[in-house]
Copies of this chain bind each other. A is one copy, B any other.
Amino acid sequence: MADLSPTSINWQLYLHSIQEKNIRFLSRAISLVENGVSGYELLLEALPHPNDTPVIGITGPPGAGKSTLTDALIGEWVGRGKRVAVLCIDPSSAFHGGALLGDRIRMSEWYTHPDVFIRSLAARGSLGGLHPGILEITDLLRAAQFDCILIETVGVGQNEIEIAGLADTTLVVLVPEAGDEIQTMKAGLMEIADIFVVNKSDRPDADLFVRNLRLMLSPAFHRPGRETAIVKTIASQKQGLEELMQKIEESLRQQQTAERRNRLLTERAFYLISKRRMKDVDKGEMNQKIARQTAAGTFNLYKFVSDY
């Protein structure tokens, strides 16, 4: 086994091995990025750019069946002879110190499949709700020449707006019970969905739900130039997957404009620059300073910030 101390890492070997689809090197490189081992930027700068591997975001509220759907979609791609990489971002892992068992149980069939690579990442309370190394890790997967990359995130909120900067197309998975129109809009999902997947669509109120969703997507609300498909599925029974795959392909085709790609790259650059500029800010140190000043009664948040 190679020496993995930060100073002795042979990044050229990593780059070469990853491009040769060596999964062990890929896994290690991801761990190095995850742990912020210094020097990995060199590896990233050496990666080939640009790369057209489609990145598909899968998001939606808890209980909508995202993992089951992801599991089924892996099957569709593998069935077409494709190599698939899956990143599961799990915000609760900050608490449990590791990814949850749930995903693993649901996707266990794929963990040992030679054409499937699954990695769970803890969100670790990073500012954006995404794993802090998500962009870099996705670029490593691109370099490893997967045919498609799935990124599953949990939650309903702004974190998905960010994966919109990461994903070429975004599926929002809902269940018919997800709520009335107002509540659904409130979830902030309208902006980021390229495809709405109404899962568990055998439930009695599914058609009403789809009708309401369609109403919300009428021209008055609709983003110009961007079409949002609605697909009904029953992921646990692998129903609706053909149509979903077709819609994903259509959406990816639509999205492949220079304008859109540049917008996504802008979002990614912004995120990475922000990460770099804040690298020197040590929260522990800052906390000690604040503690001293509050104890002395001299602390003023806005002065503190402008002095920093």
Does A265 contact B299, Cβ atoms closer than 8 Å? yes
**Interface of A: prevailing SS:** helix
State whether A182 touches B102 (Cβ < 8 A). yes
Q: Which of A5-13, A124-132, A200-208, A229-237 contacts B (4 or more CB under 8 A)?
A: A124-132
Interface string of A266-284 (1 = CB under 8 A from B): 1111111110111001010
Q: How far is the CA of A267 from the CA of B177 in the complex (A)?
A: 36
Taking a contact as CB atoms under 8 Å apart, the answer to whether A290 and B266 are in contact is yes
Question: In the complex this chain forms, how many copies of it are found?
Answer: 2
From B101, B263, B273, A305 is in contact (CB under 8 Å) with: B273
Q: Is the CB of A290 within 8 A of B274?
A: no
Chain A 220-240 per-residue mask, 1 if CB under 8 angstroms from chain B, else 0: 010100000000000000000
Set of chain B residues within 8 Å of A96, measured between Cβ atoms: 185, 221
Report, as a range, how many residues of chain A touch the other chain. Answer: 35 or more
Which residues of A161-186 are within 8 A (CB) of B? 161-162, 177-180, 182-186
CB-based contact B125/A128 at 8 Å: no
Residues of chain B contacted by A213 (CB below 8 angstroms): none
**Residue numbers in B under 8 Å from A4 (CB-CB):** none
A294 within 8 A of B: yes
